[in-house]
Chains A and B, each alone.
Chain A
């Protein structure tokens, strides 16, 4: 079983819809990251969370440490939001990140 599980694997939405991507993890973590990867492109770090909630523009990320669960929300989705969104955790022991397999989001005009 992967240490980090994301759902859904694929998501198609109409422009303007509210989108939620979920991430569950099974290990002790020091922080959780949400990353964005465009097709053929690099990776951008959207958020780093260790507790609570963060907001940046139309993006909101929340984390519940007790439940080992995080969500990424996109309000008023737009076609340019189409990308793969990856959840990653940095463990509180060791040096590496563990990554979810990503959620491929397509927003249709």
Chain B
């Protein structure tokens, strides 16, 4: 059981480029959550997805950010036209159900915008 896999571990983008962050949940997990950790700040919820559905995106910035969790393949967090303020660690977590039992985090993707 490989756990929650995030890639890339580190991503450098120039201002205005697109960043695509991938999260493969643990086997058997159908619930995926994305969190952002800004420098010197705590983790903040971004979005909660189940297969092919966005359940709660109340933590997502209104513009430039989108997330998907297709029927096949990993969940993708996409940031268009990145700005310096997007530099952060982005963590994905997965669980087998809504009750959070077995909730597991990935190792994160550290995005640096230059």
Contact = CB atoms under 8 A, between A and B. Distances in A.
Interface residues of B, number: 23
Contact of B59 (A42, A44, A86, A96): A96
Contacts of B103: 33, 45, 48
A43 B105 contact: yes
B43 interface: yes
Given A30-B99, A86-B43, A96 B48 contact: yes
Interface stretch (A16-24, A72-80, A99-107): A99-107
Contact of B100 (A43, A48, A94, A98): A48
Q: How large is the interface on A (under 10, 10 to 19, 20 to 34, 35 or more residues)?
A: 20 to 34
Contact of B56 (A48, A94, A100, A101): A94
Interface string B19-54: 000000000000001010000011111001000000
Contacts of B58: 96
Residue of B41, B56, B103, B107 with highest tally of chain A CB at under 10 A: B103
B106 A42 contact: yes
Contacts of A102: 42
Contacts of A98: 45
